[in-house]
Amino acid sequence: MPAAKRPLSPHLQIYRPQITSVLSILHRVTGVGLGLGTLLLAWWLIAAAAGPGPFATAQAFVGSWLGRLLLFGFTGALFYHLFNGIRHLAWDAGYGFDLPSVTRSGWAAVIAAAAVTLAVWVLGYATMGLGE
Amino acid sequence: MSEHSLRTALGRVSGLGSAKDGTQHWWQQRLSALALLPLAVWFALSVAGLAGAEHAQVKAWVASPVVAVLLLLFVLSGFYHLRLGLQVVIEDYVHAPGAKLALLVLNVFACAGVGLAAAVAVLSLHFRG
């Protein structure tokens, strides 16, 4: 059957990115990213259960520049998904649907995620400093 | 309800709609999200406090029953939430029937498998060290 000639809505490339749409897809992207990151989490736990040798290998990877980069992305994705998730729960409960609130809560989620991610990493480096 | 409705009385009462599972998926995703809010914050802070830790330190940490229970809750609700979320992503973007079914099955198996492996690791670390 030939496709009906219906009008198409503008494509994603034509729409100007807005805070609402960008944060919405970012929630999905970080969700899938966290899914991949759980593999690292599972490896870390299984390595710890397997004993000091395997655990040292896992810790060495986590401590390498690549491991730290992945872990930093994981932390950022976790806190963005967490704070934006609070927005979703509030919407589900019927709060904050008007556009000014949506814009404000969106920026709040981005800023909170950045701030808490940095705070957790400061704590991590402070811990390592104490350990030495 | 209109008397012209084609829905049966039983269908109306059960309220499950044409997908046969009603709001179950939606509700489970919110419940696991709510559980993960405090658990994820606790986990991130705890792991930051273990940065560069030796094996013995991690062992001592999981030896606490409170830590073991919180870790299990985090791992299990996390993988459950992941399974529900990835399912929606697959349903939204994969339209070829075969690939869609295969990915939906793989999603459930992978989340259950990796999640249980992580949970058993926590139990093993707690009981055997």
- For residue A132, the model assigns a pLDDT of 52
Alpha helices in chain A (DSSP H): 19-50, 52-63, 65-92, 99-131
Residues spanned by the domain of B114: 24-127
d(CA A1, CA A121): 57
Distance CA B70, CA B19 (A): 34
Asked if the Cβ–Cβ distance from A78 to B44 is below 8 Å, we say: yes
Q: Give the class (CATH, top level) of A19-131.
A: mainly alpha
pLDDT reported for residue A14: 78
Residues of B in contact with A75 (CB under 8 A): 44
Tokens of A113: 């995620």
Q: Output the domain CATH number for residue B36.
A: 1.20.1300.10
Show which of residues 77-116 on chain A sit within 8 Å of chain B, judged by CB atoms: 78-79, 82, 85-86, 88-89, 92
ipTM of the modeled complex: 0.89
Q: Which residues are within 8 A (CB) of B88 and not within 5 positions of it... i.e. 6 or more apart?
A: B25
Residue with the two structure tokens 């075969």: B98
- What is the predicted pLDDT for the residue at B114? 98
B8 against A65, higher pLDDT: A65
Predicted pLDDT of residue B103: 97
Residue of chain A with shortest Cα separation from B51: A124
The whole-number pLDDT of residue A111 equals 98
Q: Which of B49, B51, B55 sits opposite A48 (nearest CB)?
A: B55
Counting the structural domains of chain B, the total is 1
Residue B2 has pLDDT above 70, yes or no: no
Query: B24-30 long-range contacts, Cβ below 8 Å, gap at least 24?
Result: B25/B84, B25/B87, B25/B88, B28/B80, B28/B84, B29/B81, B29/B84, B29/B85, B30/A89, B30/A92
Q: Is residue B63 part of a domain?
A: yes
Q: Give the percent of chain A with pLDDT over 70.
A: 97
Residue of B nearest to A52 (CA): B55
Enumerate the domain spans of chain A: 19-131
Residue B3 pLDDT class (50, 70, 90 cuts): low
Q: pTM of the entire structure? A: 0.89
Question: Stretch B93-108: mean pLDDT, rounded?
Answer: 96
Burial of B71 (0-12, 13-18, 19+ CB in 10 A): buried
Summarize pLDDT for B78-88 with one digit per residue, the tens.
Answer: 999 999 999 99
pLDDT band (50, 70, 90) for residue A2: low
pLDDT tens sequence across A44-91: 999 999 999 999 999 999 999 999 999 999 999 999 999 999 999 999
